[in-house]
Amino acid sequence: MTERIDCDIAVIGAGSAGLSVAAGAAMLGVRTVLIERGRMGGDCLNYGCVPSKALIAASRHAVGWRQAGRLGIRYAEPEIDFPAVMRHVQDTIAAIAPNDSIERFTALGVQVLQGEACFTGPDSLTVDGRRIHARRFVIATGSQPLIPPIEGLADTPYLTNETVFALDRLPLHLLVIGGGPVGIELAQAFRRLGSRVSVIEQRHCLPREDTELSGPVLDALRDDGVDIRQQTAVVRAENTAAGIVLTLQAADGTTERIAGSHLLVAAGRRPAVDGLTLERAGIASGPAGITVDRGLRTSNRRVYAIGDVTGLSPFTHTAGYHAALVLKNALFRLPAKADHDLMPRVTYSDPELAAVGLDEAAARARHGAIRILRWPFAATDRAQAEGRTQGLVKVIVTPRGRILGAGIVGPDAGDLLQPWSLALGRRLGIGAMQAMIAPYPTRSEAGKRVAGEFFRPQLFNPLTRRLVRLLARLG
C-alpha cells in the first residue's frame, strides 16, 4: 500500500529558501515535510555562493601578493597549488554543510524525504511512492544553468557552475560564454589563479548594472589580462584535437574562431520545475518561472513559490526574504507583500559592484527630474593610505532629497551598501545619511561625503555667505 503522510506544510526544495521555511515552520510547532531530490543546501551551498566565494578568496590572495610592490613590499610570483585551492573550496562547503543537513532538520522536527516530488492534484503530491497531503505547499526548487541553443554545444564538453568546482587541474585557457555576474566573477578568479580567460557576451557584460559602475569592473578584468568580447555571439561550438573551438560572430557580422582548453557556460538560469507536473495542481508557470502574486501565492491558493523558481530576483538573500513573507502569509495569515525594488545585489568581482533601488536610467524613466550625487574613493583618506583608490559611490535622489537608489563600485562595496539599503527600506532622506557619523579613516566616509554633496549648492552659495557675514556683525 502507498504510504500516506499528512502535514500542515510541505516544502519542495532544500536550498536557501526551502530550508528557511522548513526551519521556521517546525520551530513554530507546525507539522512540516521537506522534500529534496539532490543535495541538502541546494545551489548556494554546493554550486553557487559558497564555493565561488571560496575560490575568489584564494584568487584575491594571489593578486594581493603580486600587487604588494606598489606599497614597497616585493614577493616572488606566488606558486598556485590548484588542487589545494579546490580542497579549500570543498572544505568550505563541508564546514557549512551541517547547518543544512538532514540530521539538523530532523532534530528541529522536520520530516525530510529524499526523492522526486510530483504533484498529483491541487492538494497532494507523491515522493517515490509516498503520498503527501498538506494544507499548504511551498515550491522552492530554485534554478538551473540555462544552456543556450548553440550549434554543436551538445556534443562539446562544457562546464557550468554545477561542475566547475569539481575541477582538479587549472584550465590552460578557459572560454566563458556569458558576461553576467557568475561569468565575470569566475573569469577573474581563474585568471588570477593563472588561467588564460576569454569572456564572450552577446550583449554587454553586467547588463543589469549602470555602465558608470560596471565600467571600472571590466577595466579591472582587462588589467588582469581577461580577454572580453562584448556584442559577440557564439554561433558554433566544436570539440577538436586542438581543444574546444568556438566560432564567434561580432555585431558587424565578421566571424572568427577561438580555441581553449575548457568551456564554461554561464549564460543565465532557468527555473527548476522539471518533473513537478505543475499542471496537475493548477499552478501556472512560464519560461521565466512560476507565476506568483505579490504575496508569493501561485494560481493554486494552497501553493506558494519562492526563490529562484519565481524568476523574480535570483539571489540567496531574496530566498530568505521570500521565506519570511511566506511564513507570515501561510502561518500567521498576515497580508505580507514582496517589494523587489528594495533588493540589493552584489557582483563579487574586484572591485566589487553593489547596488540597491533604481539606477540612473530607471529613475529618470520613472521620476523624470532627479539629482545624481557622486563621490570618488580617491577622495577618501583610507583609500589613499591603502593604495586602493579605484571606484565611487553614486546615489540617485529626487530634487527634494528622497533616495531612489545607490550604487557602489570599489573595495568592500557589498558591505558599504548596507546603510543605503536600510535607508531605502525605511524611507530615510539623504539628510539622514549626511548626519551619520562615520569613523575616521574608513571607506564609509565616502557614503557620508556623497550625501553631503546634496546640500553643497544650498550651503555654499552667495546668499549663505551674506547671512554668515550679517551674523558676524551682530557679534
CA of residue 81 relative to chain centroid, distance:
28
Residue 8 CA: distances (Å) to CA of 123, 134, 160: 11, 5, 37
The length of the chain in residues reads 475
DSSP codes joined into one string, 396-413: EE-TT-BEEEEEEEETTH
- Using one digit for the tens of pLDDT, what is the confidence trace for 370-398? 999 999 999 999 999 999 999 999 999 99
Residue 67's pLDDT band (cuts 50, 70, 90): confident
CA of residue 473 relative to chain centroid, distance:
58
**What pLDDT was estimated at residue 2?**
76
Contact 357, 341 (CB under 8 A): yes
- Which has the minimum average pLDDT: 192-201, 325-334, 458-467? 458-467
Q: What is the mean pLDDT of residues 415-435?
A: 96
Residue 57's pLDDT band (cuts 50, 70, 90): very high
First to last CA, the chain: 96
Give dist(CA 144, CA 270) in Å, integer: 5
Please name the residues in contact with 127: beta carbons below 8 A apart, sequence gap of 6 or more.
Answer: 35, 113, 115, 116, 117, 118
Q: Which residues pair with 262 in a beta bridge?
A: 174
Give dist(CA 74, CA 65) in Å, integer: 8
Residue 467's pLDDT band (cuts 50, 70, 90): confident
Burial class (CB within 10 angstroms; exposed 0-12, middle 13-18, buried 19+) of 178: buried
Query: Of 39, 272, 255, 314, whose CA–CA distance to 139 is shortest?
Result: 272
- Give me 250's grid cell: 561580432
Please name the residues in contact with 223: beta carbons below 8 A apart, sequence gap of 6 or more.
Answer: none
Q: What is the mean pLDDT of residues 204-217?
A: 96
Domains and their CATH numbers in the chain: 4-145+270-341 (3.50.50.60), 153-267 (3.50.50.60), 351-459 (3.30.390.30)
Give dist(CA 410, CA 400) in Å, integer: 28
Q: What is the pTM of this model?
A: 0.94
Residue 472's pLDDT band (cuts 50, 70, 90): confident
- Collapse the DSSP code of 89 into the 3-class scheme (helix H, G, I; strand E, B; otherwise coil) and give the result: helix
CA-CA-CA-CA torsion for 65, 66, 70, 75, nearest 10 degrees? 70
- Evaluate if residue 170 carries a pLDDT over 90: yes
* Chain position carrying cell 550625501: 451
- Evaluate if residue 445 carries a pLDDT over 80: yes
Give dist(CA 396, CA 402) in Å, integer: 9
Contact 455, 429 (CB under 8 A): no
Residue 56's pLDDT band (cuts 50, 70, 90): very high
Q: Over the chain, what is the mean pLDDT? A: 95
* Chain position carrying cell 562546464: 159
